[in-house]
Structure 1
Amino acid sequence: MEGMTGALVALGGDRAAHDTYMQLAGSGLRVPAPALSSALSESTTLKAVLLLYVQTLYIQTSYTALVNARSKLDERLARWLLMCHDRVRTDRLAITHEFISVMLGVRRPGVTVAIQELEGRGLIRATRGEIVIRDRDGLFQLADGTYSEPEREYERLLGKTD
């Protein structure tokens, strides 16, 4: 399991509070809230795993808020690219500057400048609608401590995602 939405249902609510969309191409499953609630009431194992996931989501969300408040844009972009790279397991990310600006909560021109900076350092290669990771270790260094704490917690609580 990589993740889920509808954490409020796992916590006992009757519906998700937000819409969900996928950031990058991939696959997913959709389970109606009543069916998930029923499955959770029937399986203590499922409930335990989903509650551990909710804990990791809380950690990631709070850490993201901290990073967004304290880190420079290039560091935040490096962290976000590392997180995407973890999930798609390919060096090619089909992503636009506009979408990255939404995800990082900044104006698109700022993203363009930050991408150019990362590209100038040889960390990525950017073309229209695609970013290729060229130097993951370099991105990690640039992220300057903003990446890995939530990832370690995820692994500690739920195991590796491979």
Structure 2
Amino acid sequence: MREGDDKLIRNEILLSLPDAERDAVLPHLELVRLTAHHVLHEPGDNLRSAYFCNTGMISILTVFPDGKSVEVGLVGREGFVGLRLIAGFPTAFTRAITQISGSAYRIDGATLLELLPSNPELRRLLEGFSQVQTAAVCQVAACNRLHEVEERLARWLLMCSDRVKSDSLALTQELLGQMLGTRRSSVTLAAGTLQRAGLIAANRGEVRILKRAGLERAACSCYAAVRREFEEWRHMRSHSK
């Protein structure tokens, strides 16, 4: 890590580490810029690096043989990309792509695995994130099957906002359609409904949340379920320090 880069840490996992473990990990981290649409890995790639997301947002997508894809996970400053490494899998199953520009702390995969035995809190935090991320994936899978596009769009915008800590999101409707696994025309109609209700403002390349409480009411129950899971994990972290 370059001098001064440790002052820029926003990642919640790194910030939750005891001082001794953070000091052990920091020399192995490299602060890297993540530009929108940058692919971190594709299905089948060897996982040579892992990432502690610092700012911005990374999407985890399932990719089908015909090239179509649908989002199954979101990672912001609360999380980490590279969980399969921790579980002993050397190759990626999904695509990880930057959706909102930001930064991450990159670590060599082999180095991370060497650090885990002597840094138990790091392992515990990564395993905890794996559990809440799995719960979120399960909830979103059910959501995509059972709930209307408008509800799902509201839920997804709120989840994005939570991860970047902002109500202004650099997103296009084409991207929203891809992430929700639905037609762009359906997303346009749903976004129009939310706009007419005064909950969001959507311009070219940007969506702004205007009334968060109203958007939460418009979202399906999946948003609250996922948020509770992450809040419980944060509570567990804060009481373990």
CA-CA distance at 1:15 after TM superposition: 4.0
Q: Which runs of 5+ in 2 are unaligned?
A: 1-11, 13-77
What CA distance in whole angstroms lies between the structure 1 residues aligned with 2:223 and 2:236?
Answer: 16
Alpha-carbon contact 1:79-1:146 (below 8 Å) kept: yes
Pairs within 5 Å for 1:91-106: 91-106=167-182
Q: Which structure features the higher share of helix residues?
A: 1
Alpha-carbon contact 1:6-1:15 (below 8 Å) kept: no
What CA distance in whole angstroms lies between the structure 1 residues aligned with 2:142 and 2:210?
Answer: 27
Q: Which structure features the higher share of strand residues?
A: 2
What CA distance in whole angstroms lies between the structure 2 residues aligned with 1:73 and 1:112?
Answer: 10
Deviation larger for 97-106 or 144-153: 144-153
Q: Which residue in the other structure is 2:146 paired with?
A: 70
Q: Counterpart amino acid of 1:95?
A: L
Q: Which residue in the other structure is 1:133 paired with?
A: 209
Q: Structure 1 stretches (4+) deviating beyond 4 angstroms?
A: none
Q: Which runs of 5+ in 1 are unaligned?
A: none
Larger Rg belongs to:
2
User: Alignment RMSD, CA only?
Assistant: 1.7
What CA distance in whole angstroms lies between the structure 2 residues aligned with 1:106 and 1:148?
Answer: 22
What CA distance in whole angstroms lies between the structure 1 residues aligned with 2:232 and 2:206?
Answer: 32
- Helix, strand or coil at the partner of 1:17: coil
Q: 1:119 aligns with which of 195, 206, 214?
A: 195
Alpha-carbon contact 2:154-2:218 (below 8 Å) kept: yes
Q: Which residue in the other structure is 1:35 paired with?
A: 111
TM-score, normalised to structure 1, is 0.92
What CA distance in whole angstroms lies between the structure 2 residues aligned with 1:90 and 1:48?
Answer: 28
- Helix, strand or coil at the partner of 1:31: strand
Deviation larger for 83-92 or 68-77: 83-92
Q: Which residue in the other structure is 2:100 paired with?
A: 24
Name the structure, 1 or 2, with higher relative contact order (CA <8 Å, separation 6+): 1
